[in-house]
Amino acid sequence: MTPSGTISVVIRVRNEGPALRKVLCALEAQDVKPLEIVVVDNASTDDSRVAALQHSAKIVEMPQGEFTYGRALNVGIQQARGEFICILS
């Protein structure tokens, strides 16, 4: 069976470098690959951005003072191009 539609994955992070790497590796191992991965970064000071870039994710910056969980998701979804959205946190 061939899946139809495209999937964008939206991940919101703040200083989650090790966990983000695990998630991104797991996404790469999936049979159905996402069209894109959008990482909404809430002013991380660790290597979260480096991890996202190493896995070709699109990074959307969100200043710490503007962050709320809902807003981060809305910003990520607005940047996504897929027909379907998979939200991870």
| Interval 5-17 mean pLDDT | 95
Question: Among candidates 15, 12, 6, 18, which has minimal Cα distance to 57?
Answer: 12
Predicted confidence band of residue 4 (pLDDT cuts 50, 70, 90): low
pLDDT tens-digit series, residues 18-35? 999 999 999 999 999 999
How confident is the model over 64-82, as pLDDT tens digits? 899 999 999 999 999 999 9
Average pLDDT, rounded, for the chain: 94
Instruction: Say yes or no to pLDDT of 2 above 70.
Output: no
Q: Where are the alpha helices (DSSP H) in the chain?
A: 17-28, 48-54, 69-79
This prediction's pTM: 0.91
